[in-house]
Amino acid sequence: MQDDLGRSLGGFDAALARLWRDLAGQPALRGHVFAGTEEWRALLAYKLVPHLVGEGCLVVAVTGGTNTGKSTVVNLLVGMEATPVRTTAAATCRPLLAGSPERAAQCLQGKLVPEFTPRRLEDPEDVIRFEGPENLLYVCEAPNLPGRIVILDTPDIDSIETRNWEVANHIRAAGDVLVATLTPEKYKDERVVDFFRRAHAAGRVVLPLLNKANPANGFAAGRQQLEEFIRDVGLESPACFILPHDYESAHDYARPIPALGGGETLREHIERLDTAAIKRRVYHDTVARFAGEAESFLEVVDETARQMKRVVAEFEDRARQFALRYDPAPGPAVGGLFHEFVQSKRGPVARGVGRIGSGVARGAASLGRALRHAVLRRAQLERPTAESESDLQRRHRESIERISRDLATSFLASGRNLAGPAADMVAGRLDALDLEAAVKRVASETLRCESISDDFRRHAERTLENWWNDHRGKRQVLLALDTVLAIMPAAIAVPISIYVGGIGLPETMIVAGPLMEQFIVRVIEYQFGDAMFDFLSPWRDEQRAHLVTALNKHLTGPALAAVRETLASLEGETAAELRGWLEQCRQAL
């Protein structure tokens, strides 16, 4: 059982470290996901994992607020001046481990508390200097300590030196027994009480010790103060110890630390503790607590992933919404497309006759236009300019560029308003984006061919062909109408020329030909155009789909790249692995 648990804990630790590394690029997100995990990560790193590699021995940590006399207590427990005592606050800033020579050696080999970097204490003053690596642990030999106990002196947990707090938190995770060093001034301080409440909740044995107590009335005040502390922390009738305010014997480290109600001293009490039972309990409670906390951590991971997914969905949806603003339209040149198509389906005779007829009609129409222009030119002070194909292309390009820019602007605006770490990720990526280049790429990818009208023509012909093949009846009617149209000029011209011998024929054709043609074309379009050939909207949809794809590739994609990456690590293998290890861990428990 222990092996299973060990394996799953080790696996969890490794996977967690991987997730930590994966999110290194996003400090804000990492801060968000790992917020409030320091405690159980310390448990994992400083207690659970070391426990599996190190040999069991009882770690007694002397902890408490600043200037409560922790170092004095350590010296009293060790029975010599192992660590310097200062009257000024926040003096000790490095943890110190005191143990029998064998334990000290073991610790120096990194076997006892592997998460710390051990260093032999050469000069006692070292512990009050903050130099060297962060997780430095000084080790000193205390020949009169039994082998199964090591004693840790710790920095404070409440002074303005917040870096000390972190070290103290690691020590709390590493220790099995915590000696809560209190004073009449500090037994009710929030940080102190809170610190020990957490330690107790994580299964540590907390032994309250009131230092600098008022000896009047048989420590009556001290008794009550300790009671209040025990109540605040939620301890269950622990052994309590007391040290009176005594300046004279301050440097006498041979005296014992008495229990409150008499009986065995602190040193005797610690020595008599059932190491194996405590270890088991601490280990079990720690694992249980760790499992609970890790569970909620994974929930945070899930929730964050869900949030990110929502952001991705919203942005993609917005790209689709913006694409709807794109309103592609072919140039006026494709107006007679439908008619042309029907003409292309004519038989050889009708085609020949129609070609001649429409040639005549076209000539007549251009002549009429020239006449009309000559008459009305003076009245028309402003000529409508015809839009060339390149103008059309430019107009579409500009429209796409505008839509892309507006989309990027809206991403930027809402990116800043997003809640949580996603905001920075989106805004940061957008800030770094070369918008103009991206916009150009979107435009050129959406407008795939040189001519919009040609593109439309090809699309329309495909649609028409399908329709033509599907609708036999309507096809016949159309063909009949078209035949009438094709032979109409000839049908008019032949009788007239027979009747008048050719005189007035061109004039008749000039008037009648175009009129007739227009009439029939209108008949065809009104009759069938609305119902069947809404081929503009499928084409438009297709164009918009191109735009959405391009927008997603060049704008939404880069904007969400960081979000997607982290989403991959939050939802990917590592997270699944974490969940798996945790499940195994629960089963092993």
Partner 1 sequence: MPASLVEILNELERIAAYDGPWKPLRRETRALGERVRELVARESHEDDVLVIALVGGSGVGKSTVLNALAGDHLAETSEFRPCTSQPTVYHPPGVSLDFGAWRRISGSALENLVIVDTPDSDTVVREHRALVADVLAKCDLIMLCGSQEKYLDEATWSLLRPLQGERSMVCVETKAQGPESIEEHWRARLREQGFQIAAYFRVNALRTLDRKLAGNNPGDGEFDFPKLERFLNNELSAERIARIKRANAAGLLAKTVARLEDSVAGLRPAVDALNRHLVQGDKAVARESLGIVERRLFTESYLWHFALGREVGLRAKGIVGTLYRMVEAVRSLPARAAGWLPWNLARPDAGRRAASLLISREVFEEDLALASEEIARVYRNRQSELGFAFARTGFDPPPEDAGLDEYRKELNDRVAAVLRGPGREDVVRRARWLTGWPAVIAADSVPGFFLLYAGYRIVHEFFTPQALPPGYITHAAVVLFILLGAELFAMSLLARAAAWAARTRALNALQIALYAPDLAFRPERRILEDARRLLDTVDRLKRAIPQ
| Positions that interact with partner 1 (CB under 8 A) | 65-68, 87-90, 158-162, 183-191, 193-194, 212, 214, 221, 224-225, 228, 232, 247, 375-385, 395, 398-399, 401-402, 405-406, 408-410, 412-413, 416, 430-431, 435
The amino acid present at 245, given as its one-letter code, is: H
Of residues 195 and 539, the one with the C-beta less far from partner 1:
195
Number of neighbours of residue 514 by Cβ within 10 angstroms = 18
Distance separating alpha carbons of residues 479 and 339, to the nearest angstrom: 11
CB of 66 to partner 1, least distance (A): 6
Total residues found in the chain within this entry: 589
Q: How far is the CB of 63 from partner 1 (least distance, A)?
A: 16
Kindly tell me which of 384 and 501 has the beta carbon lying closer to partner 1.
384
H-run or E-run covering 585: helix 573-588
3-class DSSP assignment, residue 328: coil
Shortest separation between residue 330's beta carbon and partner 1, angstroms:
17
Alpha-carbon distances, residue 41 vs 13, 48, 173 (angstroms): 9, 10, 9
Distances (CA, A) of 464 to 203, 455, 519: 79, 14, 22
Q: How far is the CB of 186 from partner 1 (least distance, A)?
A: 7
Q: Is 236 left (phi over 0), alpha (psi -120 to 50) or beta?
A: beta
Question: Which CB atom, from 380 or from 469, has the smaller least distance to partner 1?
Answer: 380
Query: Measured over all CA atoms, what is the biggest interatomic distance in the chain, rounded to whole angstroms?
Result: 148
Find the shortest distance in angstroms from Cβ 87 to partner 1.
6
Q: Given its phi and psi angles, is residue 113 left (phi above 0), alpha (psi -120 to 50 degrees) or beta?
A: beta
Q: Between residues 129 and 362, which has the closer beta carbon with respect to partner 1?
A: 129
Residue 47 is given by DSSP the state I
Q: Quick one: DSSP state of residue 48?
A: I
| Closer residue to partner 1 (CB): 237 or 247 | 247
Q: Which of 100/164 has CB closer to partner 1?
A: 164
Nearer to partner 1, 317 or 398 (CB): 398
* Measured distance CA(403)–CA(550) in Å, rounded: 12
Tokens 């920095």 locate to 155
DSSP letter for each residue of 222-263: HHHHHHHHHHHHT--S---EEEE--STTTT-TTS---BTTSS
CB 509 within 8 A of CB 364: yes
Q: 279 or 405: whose CB is closer to partner 1?
A: 405
Quote the least distance from Cβ 7 to partner 1, whole Å. 40
CB of 406: closest distance to partner 1 in angstroms?
A: 5
Least distance (Å) between residue 448 CB and partner 1? 22
221 or 496, CB closer to partner 1? 221
Q: How far is the CB of 553 from partner 1 (least distance, A)?
A: 18
Minimum CB separation of residue 561 from partner 1 in Å reads 18
Q: Write the burial class of residue 226 (CB in 10 Å: 0-12 exposed, 13-18 middle, 19+ buried).
A: buried
Sheet containing strand 205-213, edge to edge, reads 117-120, 136-141, 96-99, 149-153, 58-64, 177-182, 205-213, 241-244
Gap between the Cα atoms of 97 and 123, Å rounded? 14
Rank residues 67 and 307 by Cβ distance to partner 1 and give the closer one: 67
Give me the least distance between CB of 159 and partner 1, in Å please. Answer: 4
In the complex with partner 1, which residue's Cβ is closer, 188 or 355? 188
C-alpha to C-alpha distance for 165 and 188, rounded to whole angstroms: 18
